[in-house]
Structure 1
């Protein structure tokens, strides 16, 4: 029983479905793990153990009564504290929203509950999902950042407090914390998961993502969250994707990977350069180093302009009314965004389609692009959450990305990031599964 907190979500769901495990026992194991390790890690913004246990007991009662069980029945999930929950406060990492209680669940939380998941609590976010760190520490080294802005979600999964968690990404807020904490993180195509009920800071960039302990976990929860929502302007209609089944299918021919250093390469640490040189060499004929047109060098800059301008627009009322309650760094960030010119903003928006065509040509020849998930291991100190430079360009392009905990440098994890074409999550995760198996063979 004491090891139940280590179960991956996919295995936990299977055991609960087969009657080998109760949701209550799993929740109790997670809460005991939280009690043991969270005083040091501080991953939670809100946690009510009695409520969590009561919800788990209800899940067990429904199963005993013969009610249909969804694919996540009885599995605990942590929710980033910018995502609305009708039974728990959503405080957005800011005193401005202290004790704020939403009246209804965000669409993604409602989808999780419909799939049978049990919401265990709200995980720490940076201030307004931006750059000012929260209280969470990296489980692998308490003196290092866990990354941000989905700090608590990544740390909670990495430390065994919960098998699954939701995060969001506007630049690198899902992929970077996964890299720093040594877990699987997945940011799907823009619009794959509804953002209704999620704090908005950039309507053309914000993306809901997920954390898990395996690719099966990632596929399981992402499949449950996928769906069209007419209330979200970037949501798109499509048939329900099956993300789990492709993981079990072998490739007739091994996938082809393109290693692109990206415009962020000069900012990577020397040890990261060396590690990826070794990785490319190990992959041999399965990986080819590519170059892209010089115009692609502007990808991170375009993302930064859009995020800055849209952030200032969405948070403008907060800035005007509650400036004294914002951190100095947040005030400075919003003031800078208000100075972004219309020309530079529109140029950044309109360049996206043109620059994506260069990537689409790559994806016609390769199954995925491989690159670092971060410049290196999690930085020491808790004053920043690290540089999102290796993620921001992919968020700007709206493509799916997954980070795999396949590397360590000086004893700390560094994620291997795989990126695929828009709306092809299943193939990207299948390719990622091949890579994990290939490197483990």
Structure 2
């Protein structure tokens, strides 16, 4: 890799602040890494090297004027449903090719203000749902990178960027994190602004972040929230609920891996209690599907009529099915969603986090995007969730452990994740 490609975001910022490295050098190194490996991984839909270098030069000028920004010179990959001024937002939909965003999405404006630079747009499945994107899993190019945030999830372990943005309406943040071996973070519903993001479901859409480790995730989260970046994290061993219903839904090798992680945490002083949420998986999944399909149909029906030949098979089927859902059922599902969220949040007062696998399997074949089941509960309930790549499975592919906290508990959840990774080191990068 080039000098700075593969470095953590925290190390890049420290190096730039010391004057050891410029934002222009960081941009060149990461653009070089993309040129080197993206032919294999196909993580990026659009890279405008001229625009990225101009942004880096502006950051270097600000540095010379005395600015020391929290994310100074950190290159970020952006899922291609999020507007970045000057770049196209294609969303995997051919009629949108060449449509250039005039303004930044809200989250992009916030990241730019903190000193980050947008290196390019990453591949997504069409409109963040449906048929696979062209991205390949960097661990095994015959296996799926998942979806819909396929490019962002794969770009991190491939060393193309230290930070990337994705979205989740069912499992589109956490599953790519698990399959590709990156750290994925979906904050509470409403925590990250959605203006300038192509919607899929008003009640379920979340933005999220990918990094290579929890320290970088804490850097991005705390910078966005104007919290002290280098505060001392809690060494208090966490109290964790191990959700056995979701272990039982997983392949034996995946369930056993998470049980081993849990046993390791107990050995380090954590309290781990086998337990179950007061609402079954089926009772959470059913109203999620009503909202997911019904709101997708409301958003996409007119566009499907306008471009009938350009919609993929899976999203077309979802829109057509969702169109059959009466509005009264959507209203009832939204009320049920609020009730379920209150019940689970109250139940979780006894725990710092609950833990179970992120996905039921290792990465599936390339023609599929994987099982979203275990990612849906956090989405539907609007709870913060982290996926940690804690090991490799029988096929030498990543297995991930999922942590979920109460709504608004992001800071504590990150503390718990940092404590866990001190006991269970994360896997490294694949060879490319």
1:317 aligns with 2:316: no
Three-state SS of the structure 2 residue aligned to 1:4 is: coil
How many Å apart are 1:343 and its aligned residue? 4.2
How many Å apart are 1:420 and its aligned residue? 0.4
How many Å apart are 1:425 and its aligned residue? 0.7
1:349 aligns with 2:334: yes
Corresponding residue of 1:373: 358
Three-state SS of the structure 2 residue aligned to 1:205 is: coil
Corresponding residue of 1:275: 257
How many Å apart are 1:24 and its aligned residue? 1.3
1:8 aligns with 2:16: no
Q: Gapped runs of 5+ residues in structure 1?
A: 227-239
How many Å apart are 1:265 and its aligned residue? 4.4
How many Å apart are 1:324 and its aligned residue? 1.2
Per-residue CA deviation, residues 183-215 of structure 1 (Å, 9 max, x unaligned), is 111000111110000001111110110011111
Deviates more, 1:192-201 or 1:299-308: 299-308
Taking the aligned partners of 2:228 and 2:189, their CA distance within structure 1 comes to: 17
- 1:239-250 equivalences under 5 Å are 240=226, 242=227, 244-245=229-230, 248-250=232-234
Corresponding residue of 1:169: 168
Taking the aligned partners of 2:207 and 2:251, their CA distance within structure 1 comes to: 28
CA contact (8 A) 2:157 2:181 kept: yes
1:76 aligns with 2:59: no
How many Å apart are 1:84 and its aligned residue? 0.6
Taking the aligned partners of 1:355 and 1:243, their CA distance within structure 2 comes to: 33
Corresponding residue of 1:402: 386
Deviates more, 1:337-346 or 1:152-161: 337-346
CA contact (8 A) 2:255 2:357 kept: no
TM-score relative to the length of structure 1? 0.92
Corresponding residue of 2:345: 360
CA contact (8 A) 1:168 1:208 kept: yes
Corresponding residue of 1:306: 291
Three-state SS of the structure 1 residue aligned to 2:164 is: strand
Corresponding residue of 1:96: 95
Per-residue CA deviation, residues 366-393 of structure 1 (Å, 9 max, x unaligned), is 100011111121102x222111111111
Q: Gapped runs of 5+ residues in structure 2?
A: 427-432
Taking the aligned partners of 1:353 and 1:50, their CA distance within structure 2 comes to: 46
CA contact (8 A) 2:300 2:319 kept: yes
Deviates more, 1:337-346 or 1:422-431: 337-346
- 1:112-127 equivalences under 5 Å are 112-127=111-126
Three-state SS of the structure 1 residue aligned to 2:88 is: coil
CA contact (8 A) 2:383 2:405 kept: yes
Deviates more, 1:52-61 or 1:81-90: 52-61
Corresponding residue of 1:231: none
Taking the aligned partners of 1:419 and 1:244, their CA distance within structure 2 comes to: 22
Calculate the aligned-residue CA RMSD, in Å.
1.8
Taking the aligned partners of 1:20 and 1:358, their CA distance within structure 2 comes to: 51
Per-residue CA deviation, residues 5-55 of structure 1 (Å, 9 max, x unaligned), is 010001101111121111111111111111111101111111122322222
Distance 1:294 1:77, change over 3 A: closer
How many Å apart are 1:346 and its aligned residue? 2.7
- 1:207-356 equivalences under 5 Å are 207-226=206-225, 240=226, 242=227, 244-245=229-230, 248-251=232-235, 253-262=236-245, 264-284=246-266, 286-295=271-280, 297-356=282-341
How many Å apart are 1:440 and its aligned residue? 4.2
1:46 aligns with 2:46: yes
Deviates more, 1:342-351 or 1:83-92: 342-351
How many Å apart are 1:102 and its aligned residue? 1.6
- 1:130-145 equivalences under 5 Å are 130-145=129-144
CA contact (8 A) 2:248 2:255 kept: no
Per-residue CA deviation, residues 264-321 of structure 1 (Å, 9 max, x unaligned), is 5454212112222323333335211102335554112221111111011111221121
Moved beyond 4 Å, runs of 4+: none
Three-state SS of the structure 2 residue aligned to 1:101 is: coil
Distance 1:337 1:29, change over 3 A: same
How many Å apart are 1:399 and its aligned residue? 0.6
Tell me the matched-pair count. Answer: 422
How many Å apart are 1:70 and its aligned residue? 1.8
Taking the aligned partners of 2:350 and 2:58, their CA distance within structure 1 comes to: 50
Three-state SS of the structure 1 residue aligned to 2:292 is: helix
1:34 aligns with 2:34: yes
CA contact (8 A) 1:108 1:225 kept: no
Taking the aligned partners of 1:269 and 1:296, their CA distance within structure 2 comes to: 17
Distance 1:341 1:403, change over 3 A: same
